[in-house]
Amino acid sequence: MAKVLVPLAPGFEELEAITIIDLLRRAEFDVITAGLDDQPVTASRRNVIIPDTEISKIMQESFDLIVLPGGLPGADNLRDDPNVQALLRRQATGQGKIGAICAAPRALAQAGVIAGKTITCYPGALDQIDTSSFSVSDAAIEVDGNIITSRGPGTAMDFALELIQQLAGAELRERIAAQMVRA
């Protein structure tokens, strides 16, 4: 069973985070949500989520996937958190995968884990960032090696399904997609 970390920072995008967590748990992955501290996390639309743990308590654990939901200021809070940055750098040097949606690729750029890669993100999310070391597309989803990125709330379900495929194959992806009664 794949082990997945979903860090939740204040201001995260609910639709992205909950969709990702829900579908990955439907796939029977071991999904751990972690706040930046030991407090409930208030999302971008003021919904309050209680994470499973805090990020400092799982720093020594290994994950098959670390996936970052977007939203503002959530993505910037992930970008600025030293524990998240350390986990991303460690993940990039191992065999694990990294996912990010919406504005969360800001955190990947800060960690230096997307050099030479092609990514996608929410339109304008990287306008203030030097993108000369990586390429940015306007695709709904980009998979480049161990990096999987997506555009935003409207692509969250397809992104979560792609994460399932990357971790466990097309058959499981299709089984989970069928449960969603997608047209």
Considering the candidates 18, 34, 75, 102, report the single residue annotated as catalytic. Answer: 102
Q: What is the CATH number of the domain that holds 153?
A: 3.40.50.880
- Tens-digit pLDDT profile for residues 63-74: 999 999 999 999
- Tens-digit pLDDT profile for residues 25-36: 999 999 999 999
CA distances from 119 to 6, 50, 145 (A): 19, 30, 11
- Tens-digit pLDDT profile for residues 141-150: 999 999 999 9
Alpha-carbon distance 76 to 131, whole Å?
A: 17
**Average pLDDT of the chain?**
97
Total tally of structural domains belonging to the chain: 1
Q: Which domain holds residue 34?
A: 3-179
Q: What angle do CA 48, 51, 56 make, to 5 degrees?
A: 130
Are 67 and 93 in contact by the 8 Å Cβ rule? The answer is no
Characterize the bridge pairing of strands 147-150 and 141-144: antiparallel
Q: Any catalytic annotation for residue 121?
A: no
Alpha-carbon distance 112 to 133, whole Å?
A: 9
